[in-house]
Every structure is written in C-alpha cells, then in structure tokens.
Structure 1
Amino acid sequence: MKRLLRIVGIIICGILLLLVRGFEDNLFYDPLLEFFKGDYTRMPIPEMDVSSLLMGLAFRYFLNTLISLFILWLVFLDRGIIKLSVLLYVVLFALFMVVFTLLIYSLEGTDNLLVLFYVRRFLIQPLFLLILVPAFYFQKQKSA
C-alpha cells in the first residue's frame, strides 16, 4: 500500500511538472519563450524587463525544485539525498542565474544566443531531476 501511494505521488508530481510547463505562458513573464521558438538566429533579441524576467525564472525554478525534491523524497525516502539535492539546487541556481544575467546584459546582436538558450533551459526545465534520480539510484546500488 505504501509503495502504491509513493507511485501515485510520483505520478501526481510528474503531472504538476507538466502543468508548470503547460501553463508557462500564463504563469511566468518570459519573452524569450516565443523568441526561441522562432528563427532566433536571424531576429534581434526582444525588448524585455530583465528584472521581471529574472523573477519569473527564479519562480519557475523554485516551483520545479519543490516538485523535484518531493519526487526525490518519494523515490528514495532518504534525508541525506534531500539535503545534498537542496545544496545542489541552490548552488546550481546561483551559478546559472549569474551566468544568465551576465549573458543578458552582454548580448550584442546574435552573439551568445545558443549559450543563453541552454543556460535558460537549465533554469526553466527540471533537468537536474533527470540527472539526480539515476545518479542517486546508481550510488545506492553501489553502496548496497
């Protein structure tokens, strides 16, 4: 029964991650969403309120992180993994936000757009979850 509840919890959290993605246009200020959907190599970067963009990215990262941490808890039920994950999420957030901010303020023409795209991708998608689950799984298997 407990295993079934954990599986249902993981499915619900997966749906929540999909909802964050599905309602991104309504929930977050991000003019780069449409920009990167088009032929961004030929278009100028759109006008944007950088502080609102950074706040939107931070909010989205926070939502994805909370859901991801809950998934990690349901999968492993290990406080040590959660503590390490929180540390990694905080450090990676600080690192990627600094890089993203520097890229936004140093854009000239189409330089650095691909780097901006991938740094932003790490901030708005739960990619760390896709890295951490197998990493912690293999680490647990190795130590068992």
Structure 2
Amino acid sequence: MVKWLLRNKVKLGLVTLLVFLLVLIRFFESALFYDPFLSFFKSEFQNEVLPEYTTWKLYLNLFFRYTLNSAISIAIIHVLFANMQLTKLSFWLYIIFFLGLIILFAIELNFYQDYMLMFYTRRFIIQPIFLILFIPAFYYQKLNR
C-alpha cells in the first residue's frame, strides 16, 4: 500500500485537489448559485408552498452547477483510470443524465409537485452523486477485464 502511494503520489494529489474543488462548490453553493430551493429543502417543506423563483435563472444555475460538478467528476475519473474510452463514456453519460433529470425536474416543478421526488431529482442535479456510482462501477469493470 505504501509503495502504491509513493508510486502514485501525483495521481493521489490530483484526485485530492479535484475532490477539494467539489467540496468548495458545496461549501460556497449559496454564494455561487441562484437556488431558492436551498433554504426551502432545509426546512420542513412537506406542507409548505414552493418559494418564488425566476425560471430562467434557476435552470441556468442548475446547468452551471451540474456542468462544474460534471467537469470535475470527469477529471477525477480520467485521473483515476487513465482510459480515454471511460472518460468519453462518462462525458456522454453525464449529458444524457442531465437531459433526463432536468426534464424530470421541470415536469415535477410545473405539473406534479411531489416535493420528495423533486428534492431527490434536484439532489442528483446539484451534487456529484454519479461520481460515487461511476468509480466503483468502472473499477469493477477494470477488475473483470
């Protein structure tokens, strides 16, 4: 283990830096992004009315945050696996998942308004949850080759 750490100290340093960037995005989320749902979902929201929001601003900021998280996540995957095919696959998966999630979120926001479903859909958009799913999946795939 120690030998592996010494051999891969640059890789480990890069991954640590990229994870730190994800933490910074989370830490400064209220300053960086327009999201009236941050405080809404921190409260007892089940019986509340949705807060006022500016639609274009909300979607633009969700796109911006998802893009930042995705770019950093793809960089982490690229550093960990050094496989351009996995990097490209990750890139396309992030695009496909964003399109599906943003459409689902728009439907929930405008028509369905199930707050718990909206909470979790928004969580997948604003947090790098796919990274947590992709790393073990790609590692497992690498082991089985």
Report TM bin, short chain.
Answer: over 0.9
Equivalence map 1:50-89=2 (5 Å): 50-89=55-94
1:48 to 41, 50, 53: 53
Match of 1:20 in 2: 25
2:8 to 3, 9, 15: 3
Shift of 1:2: 6.1
In 1, Cα distance between the equivalents of 2:135 and 2:63?
A: 22
Q: What is the percent sequence identity of the aligned residues? A: 36
What's the Cα RMSD here? 1.0
- Secondary structure of the residue aligned to 2:34 is coil
Match of 1:115 in 2: 117
Please say if 1:95 is aligned against 2:100.
Answer: yes
In 2, Cα distance between the equivalents of 1:70 and 1:83?
A: 11
2:143 to 138, 141, 144: 141
Task: List runs of 5+ in structure 2 lacking aligned partners.
Answer: 1-5
- Give the TM-score, by structure 1 length: 0.94
2:110 to 105, 108, 118: 105
Shift of 1:103: 1.1
Moved segments of 4+, more than 6 Å: none
In 2, Cα distance between the equivalents of 1:131 and 1:2?
A: 26
- Give the TM-score, by structure 2 length: 0.94
Shift of 1:51: 1.1
Report the number of matched residues. 140
In 2, Cα distance between the equivalents of 1:60 and 1:126?
A: 10
In 2, Cα distance between the equivalents of 1:91 and 1:28?
A: 22
In 2, Cα distance between the equivalents of 1:94 and 1:60?
A: 14
**Deviation digits for residues 54-103 of structure 1 (CA, Å, limit 9, x no counterpart):** 11110000000010011001100000100110110000000000111111
**Deviation digits for residues 36-58 of structure 1 (CA, Å, limit 9, x no counterpart):** 00000121110111111111110
2:126 to 124, 127, 133: 124
**Deviation digits for residues 82-127 of structure 1 (CA, Å, limit 9, x no counterpart):** 01101100000000001111111115xxx41001000000000000
